[in-house]
C-alpha cells in the first residue's frame, strides 16, 4: 500500500506541475467560459418580462449558445483530455530507464499502474469539478438565477458521469502506453480510436443499417424502424454516444427517452406531450442507469487489460 501512496503522490504532483496540464486546463476553461457567457446572455434576453421557467439553470449546460453546448463540448473534447494525460505514462518511463529502477525498489508492480491511474482520475475529477463550478458561478452572476436542489443534484451526477467517461479514455491511453514502446505510436493509436468512435462509428452504423434493410422508406415503416434499431445498436458501441445520451438525459429533465423524437410516431408524440412535465431525478437516473453502468464497465475492462498486460511484461532496460 505504501508504494501506491508514494507513486500516487508523485504522479499527482507531476500532473499539476506539467505545462501539458496547464495548457489543457486553460484551454478547457477558456472554451467553457465562452460557452457559459454566450448561453447566459441569450437566456437572460429571452427571460425578460416572463416568469422564470423551471430548470433555467441547467440550460447553461445544454443550450447551444454559439456552436455547441458545454455537454457536447465535453463529449467531444473529453476523450482528448484523457488521451493527452495518459499516452506516455508507462512508455516514457520505460524509455528513460526509470521504470526498471522503480521496479527494483521494494514495491509491488501493480502499485505503479494503480498509482498512475488513480492520480489521473483524481486530476480529471479536480479539473471537471472546478470547471463546472466556474460555469455555475458565472451563470449565477450573469443570469441572476439560483439553482434548485434538483438542479444541483443533476449537475453532480453529470460530473460523476463525465469523470468516468474521461477516465475511460485515460485507461485507453494507459493501455496503449503499455503496449507500444514508442510514445508517438501510442499517441497516434489513441487518436485513431478517438476518431474512430467520434466520426466513423456513426457513419458506419448508418451504412451498415442501410445495407441490412435496403427497402426502408417513408412508405415502409416497419423496415424503417428496423433500420433505426440496427443503427442505434451499432452506434451505442461508441462510448461517446453512450456518454452523450446519458448526460443529455440527466441534465435535461424534460427529456424522457435517450432516443431522438424524430423517430417517434405522431401518436406516441402526442401521448408523451400530455405528460410534458419534467421527470424527477430518480426517473432520469433510471433511464440512463444502463448507460452509466456500461461506461463504468468498459472503463474497468480497459484498466483490467492494461493491468494484466503490464503485470506480464518482461522488464528489460534495452
Partner 1 sequence: MVVEEKAIIETENLTKVYKGQVAVDHVTFKVFEGEVFGFLGPNGAGKTTLILMLLGLTEPTEGMARVLGVDPVREAIKVKGLIGYMPENMGFYNDLDAIQMLKFMADLNGLPRHIADERIEKALYTVGLENEAKKKIGAYSRGMRQRLGLAELIVKEPKVAFLDEPTLGLDPDATNKMIELIENLSKEQRMTIILCSHFLEMVQKLCSRMGIIIKGKMVAQGTMETLAKEKFGVDSEEYTLEEIYMKYFQEEA
11 interacts with partner 1 by CB under 8 A: no
Contacts of 71 (CB under 8 A, 6+ apart): 61, 62, 158, 244, 247, 248, 251
312 interacts with partner 1 by CB under 8 A: no
DSSP state of 232: H
| Residue 47 Cβ vs partner 1, minimum distance, rounded to whole Å | 50
> Which three cell numbers mark 61?
449546460
- φ, ψ at 46 (rounded to 5°): -70, -30
Q: What phi-psi label fits residue 57: left (phi over 0), alpha (psi between -120 and 50 degrees) or beta?
A: alpha
How far apart CA 291 and CA 289 sit, in angstroms, is 5
Footprint of partner 1 on residues 79-98 (CB under 8 A)? 93, 96-98
1 interacts with partner 1 by CB under 8 A: no
Site string for partner 1, 14-43 (x = CB under 8 A): ---x--------------------------
- φ, ψ at 88 (rounded to 5°): -125, 20
Rule CB under 8 A: choose which of 48, 274, 282, 316 binds partner 1: 316
Distance separating the N- and C-terminal Cα atoms of the chain: 29
Site string for partner 1, 228-267 (x = CB under 8 A): ----------------------------------------
Q: Is 251 helix (H, G, I), strand (E, B) or coil?
A: helix
| Residue 184 Cβ vs partner 1, minimum distance, rounded to whole Å | 19
Footprint of partner 1 on residues 95-134 (CB under 8 A)? 96-108
Which residue, among 202, 229, 226, has the nearest Cα to 213 in the 3D structure?
226
318 interacts with partner 1 by CB under 8 A: yes
| Residue 91 Cβ vs partner 1, minimum distance, rounded to whole Å | 13
277 interacts with partner 1 by CB under 8 A: no
| Residue 106 Cβ vs partner 1, minimum distance, rounded to whole Å | 4
Site residues (vs partner 1, CB under 8 A): 2-3, 6-7, 9-10, 17, 93, 96-108, 314-318
Amino acid at each position: 500500500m505504501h508504494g501506491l501512496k508514494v507513486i500516487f503522490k508523485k504522479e499527482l504532483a507531476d500532473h499539476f506541475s506539467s505545462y501539458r496540464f496547464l495548457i489543457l486546463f486553460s484551454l478547457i476553461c477558456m472554451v467553457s467560459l465562452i460557452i457559459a457567457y454566450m448561453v447566459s446572455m441569450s437566456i437572460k434576453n429571452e427571460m425578460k418580462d416572463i416568469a422564470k421557467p423551471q430548470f433555467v439553470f441547467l440550460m447553461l449546460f445544454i443550450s447551444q449558445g454559439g456552436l455547441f453546448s458545454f455537454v457536447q463540448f465535453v463529449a467531444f473534447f473529453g476523450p482528448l483530455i484523457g488521451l493527452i494525460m495518459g499516452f506516455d505514462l508507462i512508455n516514457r518511463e520505460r524509455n528513460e530507464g526509470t521504470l526498471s529502477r522503480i521496479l527494483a525498489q521494494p514495491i509491488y508492480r501493480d502499485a505503479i499502474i494503480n498509482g498512475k491511474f488513480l492520480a489521473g482520475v483524481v486530476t480529471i475529477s479536480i479539473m471537471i469539478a472546478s470547471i463546472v463550478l466556474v460555469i455555475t458561478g458565472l451563470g449565477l452572476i450573469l443570469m441572476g438565477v439560483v439553482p434548485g436542489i434538483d438542479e444541483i443534484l443533476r449537475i453532480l451526477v453529470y460530473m460523476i458521469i463525465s469523470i468516468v467517461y474521461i477516465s475511460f479514455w485515460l485507461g485507453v491511453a494507459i493501455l496503449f502506453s503499455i503496449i507500444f514502446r514508442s510514445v508517438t505510436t501510442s499517441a497516434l493509436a489513441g487518436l485513431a480510436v478517438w476518431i474512430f468512435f467520434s466520426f466513423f462509428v456513426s457513419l458506419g452504423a448508418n451504412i451498415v443499417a442501410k445495407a441490412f434493410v435496403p427497402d426502408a422508406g417513408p412508405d415502409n415503416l416497419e423496415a424503417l424502424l428496423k433500420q433505426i434499431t440496427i443503427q442505434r445498436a451499432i452506434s451505442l458501441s461508441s462510448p461517446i454516444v453512450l456518454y452523450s445520451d446519458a448526460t443529455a438525459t440527466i441534465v435535461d429533465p424534460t427529456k424522457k427517452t435517450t432516443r431522438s423524437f424524430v423517430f417517434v410516431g405522431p401518436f406516441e408524440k402526442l401521448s408523451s406531450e400530455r405528460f410534458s412535465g419534467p421527470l424527477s431525478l430518480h426517473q432520469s437516473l433510471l433511464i440512463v442507469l444502463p448507460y452509466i453502468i456500461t461506461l463504468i464497465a468498459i472503463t474497468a475492462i480497459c484498466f483490467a487489460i492494461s493491468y494484466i498486460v503490464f503485470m506480464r511484461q518482461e522488464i528489460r532496460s534495452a
